[in-house]
């Protein structure tokens, strides 16, 4: 992502830093510069949020702010803007003379197609850094929040790997201080980002605040395989050096019990059918009707897997899939029938919600 936007900055070179690789910037500027258009910029205001306006391709494409960071302290900044334009956020070191030079940024945030950006950096020595709000595409007003907390925290997260079709489940965890493991207490904002299957980037799903014991919880209802990532975007007191790994939740498909005639004869063809959600392409064979025969020891043994064909079925709620198969039981006895669908990139494998038992003559 960092190099993906570097072409607009002139030179696509990435330098490895203590925290993150960063792009080089070398933007051309036309016209006279205002004090906040380049380094040294203006002093970062104490009042928050800091607001301004930038426009891509113009002289005022950047707003630059100077901030003094004491040794050992963290600095974080969070950028937001209305939907539509694409703004980016950079933090440059003290030796950088201009954002238009080839000096790499200390850290950066370049999320494509959005202006929700976040950076964090820990100073090893007393230093001056430069916050650059840059317009990559469009023109927009923005809001910038920041902090310099002393205390590091860790963010845990957990979630089940599966959930029912159209069912809800929970992503939860705790924020604790890394120094002693004590909870952060109530009131810390936690953000849940999600990336459903097929999406190119994370977007904010919800936010909540911690309880007294530092815990948080989000209720989610994924329609398809979705990765959730929990983030603490900094506060006056705390910063999380890293984000927890994403939690992937895959819902099961919904498969009704196959409809089977009440009376069956061996070696005779019968139509059996049921319904599948979400919609699957018509003509494909997504579902199997599995046939189990009762054995002398009282168990049921799988005897056949009959492929079923998908058909479009319209309901008031939209198009779902009807599966249909031709059933031919090879011999008399007591049989059970159940549908099955294997997992795919979006949904987990599952059996139908019930069985059909029949005496075959």
- Mean predicted lDDT score pLDDT of the chain: 89
291-349: pLDDT as tens digits: 999 999 999 999 999 999 999 999 888 899 999 999 999 999 999 999 999 999 999 99
Whether residue 13 is predicted with pLDDT greater than 60 in this model: the reply is no
- Residue 29's pLDDT band, with cuts at 50, 70 and 90, is very low
- Residue 58's pLDDT band, with cuts at 50, 70 and 90, is confident
Whether residue 212 is predicted with pLDDT greater than 60 in this model: the reply is yes
- Residue 18's pLDDT band, with cuts at 50, 70 and 90, is very low
82-111: pLDDT as tens digits: 888 899 999 999 999 998 877 789 999 998
- CA dist list (Å): 76 to 61, 241, 265, 273: 22, 10, 73, 57
Helical (H) or strand (E) element with 136: strand 127-137
**Domains of the chain from N-terminus onward:** 3-147 (2.60.120.380), 151-251 (2.60.40.730), 254-360 (2.60.40.10)
Whether residue 134 is predicted with pLDDT greater than 70 in this model: the reply is yes
**Predicted local distance difference test score (pLDDT) of residue 32:** 62
Separation of alpha carbons 304 and 339, rounded Å = 12
Whether residue 3 is predicted with pLDDT greater than 60 in this model: the reply is no
Residue 26 vs residue 241, higher pLDDT: 241
Strand order in the sheet with 62-69: 42-43, 62-69, 127-137, 86-92, 107-109
Whether residue 78 is predicted with pLDDT greater than 70 in this model: the reply is yes
Average pLDDT of the segment spanning 196-205: 91
Separation of alpha carbons 132 and 89, rounded Å = 6
Rg over CA atoms, the chain: 29
Cβ-contact 184, 210 below 8 angstroms: yes
Whether residue 118 is predicted with pLDDT greater than 70 in this model: the reply is yes
**Predicted local distance difference test score (pLDDT) of residue 33:** 65
**Predicted local distance difference test score (pLDDT) of residue 7:** 32
Whether residue 62 is predicted with pLDDT greater than 50 in this model: the reply is yes
Parallel/antiparallel/unpaired status of strands 203-209 and 215-220: unpaired
**Predicted local distance difference test score (pLDDT) of residue 31:** 52
Give percent of the chain above pLDDT 90: 80
Three-point CA angle 129, 131, 134, nearest 5°: 150
**Predicted local distance difference test score (pLDDT) of residue 83:** 80
């Amino acid at each position: 992502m960092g190099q993906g936007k570097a072409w607009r900055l002139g030179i696509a070179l990435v330098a490895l830093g203590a925290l993150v690789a960063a792009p080089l910037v070398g933007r051309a500027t036309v016209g006279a510069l205002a004090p906040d258009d380049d380094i040294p910029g203006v002093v970062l205001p104490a009042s928050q949020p800091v607001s301004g306006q930038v426009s891509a391709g113009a002289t005022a494409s950047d707003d630059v702010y100077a901030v003094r960071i004491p040794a050992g302290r963290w600095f974080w900044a969070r950028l937001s803007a209305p939907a539509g334009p694409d703004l980016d956020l950079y933090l440059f070191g003290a030796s950088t003379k201009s954002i238009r030079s080839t000096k790499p940024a200390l850290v950066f945030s370049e999320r494509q197609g959005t202006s929700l950006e976040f950076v964090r950096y820990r100073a090893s020595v007393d230093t001056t850094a430069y916050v650059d709000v840059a317009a990559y595409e469009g023109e927009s007003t923005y809001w910038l929040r920041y902090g310099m907390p002393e205390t590091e925290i860790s963010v845990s997260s957990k979630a089940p790997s599966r959930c029912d079709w159209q069912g809800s489940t929970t992503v939860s965890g705790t924020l604790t201080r890394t120094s002693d493991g004590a909870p952060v207490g109530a009131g810390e904002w936690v953000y849940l980002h999600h990336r459903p299957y097929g999406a190119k980037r994370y977007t904010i799903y919800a936010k909540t605040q911690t309880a007294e014991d530092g815990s948080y919880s989000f209720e989610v209802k994924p329609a398809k395989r979705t990765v959730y990532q929990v983030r603490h975007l900094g506060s006056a007191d705390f910063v999380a050096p890293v984000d927890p790994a994403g939690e992937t939740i895959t819902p099961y498909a919904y498969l009704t019990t196959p409809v089977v005639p009440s009376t069956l004869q061996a070696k005779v063809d019968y139509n059996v059918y049921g319904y599948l959600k979400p919609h699957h392409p018509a003509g494909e064979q997504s579902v199997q009707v599995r046939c189990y025969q009762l054995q002398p020891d009282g168990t049921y043994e799988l005897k056949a897997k009959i492929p079923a064909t998908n058909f479009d079925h319209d309901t008031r709620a939209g198009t779902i899939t009807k599966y249909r198969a031709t059933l031919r039981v090879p011999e008399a006895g007591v049989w059970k029938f159940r549908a099955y669908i294997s997992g795919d990139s979006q949904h987990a494998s599952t059996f139908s919600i019930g069985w059909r038992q029949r005496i075959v003559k």
